[in-house]
Structure 1
């Protein structure tokens, strides 16, 4: 039932007063229609629409996010909060109001519903500050990075979880986010994506989870079996010790994910859980599926997965690995429609689409990225503002458009810091993906050079077969001046402001395996 005009006007004036106090901008939505839409189990139980249809506001601090929640007419009034900039302890305080229940040490989505939080513009980074969802429903979180959230040491936030859900949570869609830590429990970190105490109907899609001891769990103990109906698809799990995820009870659907360097164990189905595991790609990993660290069995239905250099433990009293052939021991019925990409191309499509600041691209079902067109008839379940041009410091490569003009690397020269036996600098500019350059170690430089200056605004780094997903962090450097033109992680298309130079360097500063650069393409635009 709509409230009287006078009350709605009063609520609007209250919101404007709060906004003025914390520097929160009220804005017209950058895009009124959706692109793409919610997927997986978040489509069930009435669906997930987030803040669709509500007011759109812009926030550049954690306090402003809390003020937007507290300025609503009620705890269920829909709202879309566009976030830009770095959110941290220094700019996040508790805000009080009848429509919120916030805290200073985390972004608190407690006892509320109908919320969308989406990163826009130059990107949104929650630095050492977790997002806590408790006693809440119908929430969408998109296009944000959450990093280095600690449960011990300083500063503390959210029990050490990047995104944590607990205590009767329903219908959550987390999409195109980057969740990362800098170590495991010994370094003060906990889970990247945790669900417990009656959390259901959740989808995690097109996201990156990396550099953590624990990917995430469903259920906090063997007796916490009230959680379930969770979908994980088109995510990258990289350099994770375990829990990708850990399942205790309930049902999970795990498909088209790319797993690289799972150091101790991967999908851990236990305590009666049932997982449908389809068309995933596991690389350089150990014990990627099974029941681990407990005698209480879990179950799985596995098909279409690719195992690339995967090792397995021997069965024991508390170890029941699924491998090496991963036969199914249950069947799992999925109530929604979905399209499977072939497992062989999963590392590539995930590299192009997963994570924050990738243009919210998705797979077209045939392993190619696409940005679904906006239209008035699009589903309101995923309000996606149009993204601003990617700034030079974007943390991930972009693959939102095709290059224009010829590949300027053809006919150019090349050199580098080192090369592994059997590889050549010239292999990155021969238009042949069967040849490649590798550094002599796990990091190194590869450069394209010309006798006269060229204007370059775009490069494409293509990884050779057998090493897709190996490249970690990188810098693109104007070798004439030493200036860093762009930094980020993962291979793909990288754009920056047009720069005139005679030599451009791609510097790999970290990797999950020995990198293999098949082609280093350069373009004017």
Structure 2
């Protein structure tokens, strides 16, 4: 019952910087499963999802769609695999929702979680979202079948999910979305993993930490016109090696983005991190292994600790930590 009890306690959210706890190995591992959002999703009132709403368990598409789009708050437990029809269809997620997989069994297959403009206060955790890939369309040009797509939303936490083999992007974070944290997810077997932008405005604030990008080609992430993009303790490995000299890359600070990268690990990556001339990128403490191409650093970007406190893991420990803790976990959502 640990995960469910914790999910019901999501109302205890700090609105600004929280004190960094004194950590022992046991408490550090417990922190990997914390039900309190961190990073930018913790600011400006915090992100509580469906806290205070009814807890429901769903096993089919109709029930998931009903509760996800409802007006009132819900904590929605996804048990087992839900195959979405027609292939590639959207499940609309409304405001004040928590969608969490039960253990490591919760799956959404052939469908997308879609947050429309104006949606706020959403938590998506412990799910596998997979397999809307359109055969022969590696570039994702024929359909807009993402795993998670968000347009002009605020206060969203995406945590401990496995996103793989979809028809376009794994996460598309678009059009002036704000106060977003993406943590402990596995992005795999895909071309365009995680895109941020689709706007001329420089508004979005996003924290991206402890994610594993493996078997992906580009957008790991691509961050265009982000006011603040904080990336730390991410692991990029087994990048798709297709000989593309430009569009196979790791992190890209685009447009007028201010990006800070800390203590990440890049293994076998072409262009590990790069920045447009108009953008800024500060990198510190990361490890590069068997990498080639661009490692741009210019500008001063920003200091993440001006916004929130956080604890960095050593870069050398990141592969083992992320392999162990990223993606759906058996102990969560119970």
What is the TM-score with the length of structure 2 in the denominator? 0.81
Structure 2: where are the runs of 5+ without partners? 11-32, 241-247
2:204 equivalent in structure 1: 228
2:309 equivalent in structure 1: 337
Deviation at 1:149, TM superposition (A): 2.5
Of 82, 89, 102, the residue aligned with 1:87 is 82
Q: Is the 8 A contact 1:152 1:160 kept in 2?
A: no
Deviation at 1:296, TM superposition (A): 5.7
Q: Is the 8 A contact 1:256 1:280 kept in 2?
A: yes
Cα deviations by residue, 1:414-443 (Å, 9 ceiling, x for unpaired): xxxxxxxxxxxxxxxxxxxxxxxxxxxxxx
Q: Secondary structure at the match of 2:268?
A: strand
Q: Is the 8 A contact 1:254 1:276 kept in 2?
A: yes
Cα deviations by residue, 1:231-264 (Å, 9 ceiling, x for unpaired): 1101100011111111111211000011103341
Cα distance in 2 between the residues matched to 1:88 and 1:281: 35
Cα distance in 1 between the residues matched to 2:66 and 2:136: 28
2:144 equivalent in structure 1: 159
Q: Secondary structure at the match of 1:275?
A: strand
Cα distance in 2 between the residues matched to 1:30 and 1:290: 41
Deviation at 1:225, TM superposition (A): 3.1
Cα deviations by residue, 1:386-437 (Å, 9 ceiling, x for unpaired): 3xxxxxxxxxxxxxxxxxxxxxxxxxxxxxxxxxxxxxxxxxxxxxxxxxxx
1:245 aligns with 2:221: yes
Report the number of matched residues: 293
Deviation at 1:122, TM superposition (A): 5.6
Deviation at 1:33, TM superposition (A): 3.8
Cα distance in 1 between the residues matched to 2:86 and 2:66: 12
Deviation at 1:160, TM superposition (A): 1.9
Q: Secondary structure at the match of 1:159?
A: coil
Cα deviations by residue, 1:204-225 (Å, 9 ceiling, x for unpaired): 11110011111111112xx533
What is the TM-score with the length of structure 1 in the denominator? 0.53
Cα distance in 2 between the residues matched to 1:138 and 1:125: 22
Matches within 5 A, 1:237-276: 237-250=213-226, 251-263=228-240, 264-276=248-260
Deviation at 1:161, TM superposition (A): 1.0
Cα distance in 2 between the residues matched to 1:252 and 1:339: 17
Cα deviations by residue, 1:353-374 (Å, 9 ceiling, x for unpaired): 00013535xxxxxxxxxxxxxx
Cα distance in 1 between the residues matched to 2:143 and 2:59: 20
Q: Is the 8 A contact 1:199 1:226 kept in 2?
A: no
Cα distance in 2 between the residues matched to 1:45 and 1:58: 30
Higher relative CO (Cα under 8 Å, sequence separation at least 6) belongs to: 2
Cα distance in 1 between the residues matched to 2:315 and 2:103: 33
Cα distance in 2 between the residues matched to 1:158 and 1:338: 38
